[in-house]
Amino acid sequence: MNIFRLTGDLSHLAAIIILLLKIWKSRSCAGISGKSQILFAIVFTARYLDLLTSFISLYNTSMKVIYIGCAYATVYLIYAKFRATYDGNHDSFRVEFLVVPVGGLAVLINHTFSPLEILWTFSIYLESVAILPQLFMISKTGEAETITTHYLFCLGMYRALYLFNWVWRFYFEGFFDLIAIVAGLVQTVLYCDFFYLYVTKVLKGKKLSLPA
């Protein structure tokens, strides 16, 4: 495992922990898109079904179980335990406009036409756009809490670091996965405007506001 994948995994894990702690400590899920969290739960479920068929390493298995568990824990907190604080009026992105096209694309463009491979490809495509409901929600409300922006920043860093991971693997291992790279680029591009606002405002102690 190279340093970019390790730091990317840690950044991803940090994002998940930040979000869970934010919800649990504040006893509120205000400002959090439940739809994005459902999409992430679908992503991890579809991607890590190989837990039932193969074992790579203790680290690999542990991270997969943590991601799946935390994803469903987040969905539970939003839609069950702290449902009264969930802002469904602003979390109005039509997720079917993401899931249906992504599902069709996964069937058409994949490495091998098999159930697990199609589900893995589906998860890669879906992850690249799963944050859109959250960004859409922020644009509707016009602002985001600092803790929410830290969560988004860590997610963006995770994806950016994984791009470096693909470059590293290509030069040192001869490994190249066009599907993962293109999806990663799309996801990173979605964060670019947010990164700029994060650096220019949040890190200077200002409240993040996005145009509606």
26-31: long-range contacts at Cβ-Cβ below 8 A with a sequence spacing of 24 or more? 27/82, 27/85, 28/82, 28/85, 29/77, 29/78, 29/82, 29/85, 29/86, 30/85, 30/86, 30/87, 30/145, 31/87, 31/137, 31/138, 31/141, 31/144, 31/145, 31/148
The answer to the question of residue 212 being in a domain is no
pLDDT value at residue 209 = 53
Q: What is the pLDDT of residues 62-75, one digit of tens each?
A: 999 999 999 999 99
Kindly state the tokens that stand for 95: 């997720």
The answer to the question of residue 107 being in a domain is yes
Q: What is the pLDDT of residues 173-200, one digit of tens each?
A: 988 889 988 998 888 888 776 666 666 5
CB 179: neighbour CB atoms within 10 A? 16
Q: How many domains does the chain have?
A: 1
Q: What is the pLDDT of residues 162-172, one digit of tens each?
A: 989 988 999 99
The answer to the question of residue 208 being in a domain is no
The answer to the question of residue 86 being in a domain is yes
The answer to the question of residue 209 being in a domain is no
Question: Does position 125 have pLDDT exceeding 60, yes or no?
Answer: yes
pLDDT value at residue 190 = 83
Residue range of the domain that includes 155: 3-201
Question: Does position 120 have pLDDT exceeding 90, yes or no?
Answer: yes
The answer to the question of residue 207 being in a domain is no
The answer to the question of residue 82 being in a domain is yes
CB 51: neighbour CB atoms within 10 A? 14
The answer to the question of residue 206 being in a domain is no
**In the structure, what pLDDT confidence band is assigned to residue 144 with cuts at 50, 70 and 90?**
low
